[in-house]
């Protein structure tokens, strides 16, 4: 029994454990979150957080110190170009560990380790929660002011009174037209045959007068 064991060797020799931590740290810096076992996530947090603190000071010395641990140029470039600006105002606690379901094969405890400042889901929820708290305090006053304004202004009844007047005028128009049509006398219809006979009779009388 090893009393006071502060370092979890993860069942590996020292060179193997260093290579494992180096690989996990590079993947975490490049992808911002990784899924691994809970024991490895806890060991990785102890390994990578001092390197994140060193990246806040962008000097040649700090770059060489961090490169001696990571041994990866791409991860070093990402750390000193993007990550250090995000964590500049954070005094520590750069990583978050979230426990997941156990692994199917051997029921090992799994966890997700991520950089806190690169998580948009939790940051959006926090900002929305703050906005909701602020709006709850100001809602009663705004609602009361809106109710008083609605009571003071009453344009709706005027429009309701004007609408039936227009309908009455439109309804009276056909009644007047019917009365006028009823008073007008009906004109007799004259057929075309009667008109032709009336036109021919005077001509015959005119022809007969000289003969007499």
Residues 37-58: pLDDT tens digits?
999 999 999 999 999 999 999 9
At 57 the pLDDT is: 95
Tell whether 34 is covered by a domain.
yes
Q: CA-to-CA distance for 60 and 82, rounded, in angstroms?
A: 17
Tell whether 128 is covered by a domain.
no
Q: How confident is the model at residue 5 (pLDDT cuts 50, 70, 90)?
A: confident
Q: Is 46 helix (H, G, I), strand (E, B) or coil?
A: helix
Task: With beta carbons less than 8 A apart as the criterion, state whether 51 and 97 touch.
Answer: no
Percent pLDDT > 70 in the chain is 57
Per-residue pLDDT averaged across 103-113, rounded? 96
Q: How confident is the model at residue 31 (pLDDT cuts 50, 70, 90)?
A: very high
Tell whether 173 is covered by a domain.
no
Per-residue pLDDT averaged across 86-100, rounded? 95
Task: With beta carbons less than 8 A apart as the criterion, state whether 54 and 62 touch.
Answer: yes
Task: Give the CATH number of the domain where residue 63 resides.
Answer: 3.90.1030.10
Give yes or no for residue 111 having a pLDDT over 80. Answer: yes
Percent pLDDT > 90 in the chain is 52
Tell whether 87 is covered by a domain.
yes
Q: Which residue has the tokens 């036109």?
A: 199
Tell whether 96 is covered by a domain.
yes
The residue that leads in pLDDT, 144 or 172, is: 144
Structural domain boundaries enclosing 38:
14-118
Tell whether 151 is covered by a domain.
no
In 22-109, beta strands by DSSP E:
33-37, 95-99
Task: With beta carbons less than 8 A apart as the criterion, state whether 30 and 78 touch.
Answer: yes
Tell whether 159 is covered by a domain.
no
At 42 the pLDDT is: 96
What pTM, to 2 d.p., does this model score? Answer: 0.58
Question: What rounded mean pLDDT belongs to the chain?
Answer: 77
Q: How confident is the model at residue 121 (pLDDT cuts 50, 70, 90)?
A: confident
The domain total for the chain is 1
Tell whether 160 is covered by a domain.
no
């Amino acid at each position: 029994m090893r009393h006071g064991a502060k370092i979890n060797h993860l069942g590996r020799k020292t060179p193997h454990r260093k290579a494992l931590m180096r690989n996990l740290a590079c993947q975490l810096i490049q992808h911002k979150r990784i899924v691994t076992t809970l024991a490895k996530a806890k060991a990785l947090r102890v390994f990578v957080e001092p390197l994140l603190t060193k990246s806040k000071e962008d000097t040649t010395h700090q770059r060489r110190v961090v490169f001696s641990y990571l041994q990866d140029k791409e991860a070093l470039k990402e750390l000193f170009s993007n990550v250090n600006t995000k964590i500049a105002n954070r005094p520590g606690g750069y990583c978050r560990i979230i426990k997941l379901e156990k692994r199917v094969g051997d029921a090992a405890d799994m966890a997700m380790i991520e950089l806190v400042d690169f998580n948009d889901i939790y940051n959006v929820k926090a900002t929305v929660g703050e906005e909701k708290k602020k709006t709850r305090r100001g809602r009663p006053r705004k609602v009361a002011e809106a109710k008083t304004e609605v009571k003071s202004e009453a344009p709706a009844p005027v429009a309701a009174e004007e609408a039936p007047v227009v309908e009455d005028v439109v309804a009276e128009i056909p009644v007047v037209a019917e009365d006028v049509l009823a008073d007008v006398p009906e004109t007799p219809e004259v057929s075309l045959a009667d008109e032709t006979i009336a036109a021919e009779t005077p001509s015959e009388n005119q022809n007969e007068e000289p003969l007499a």
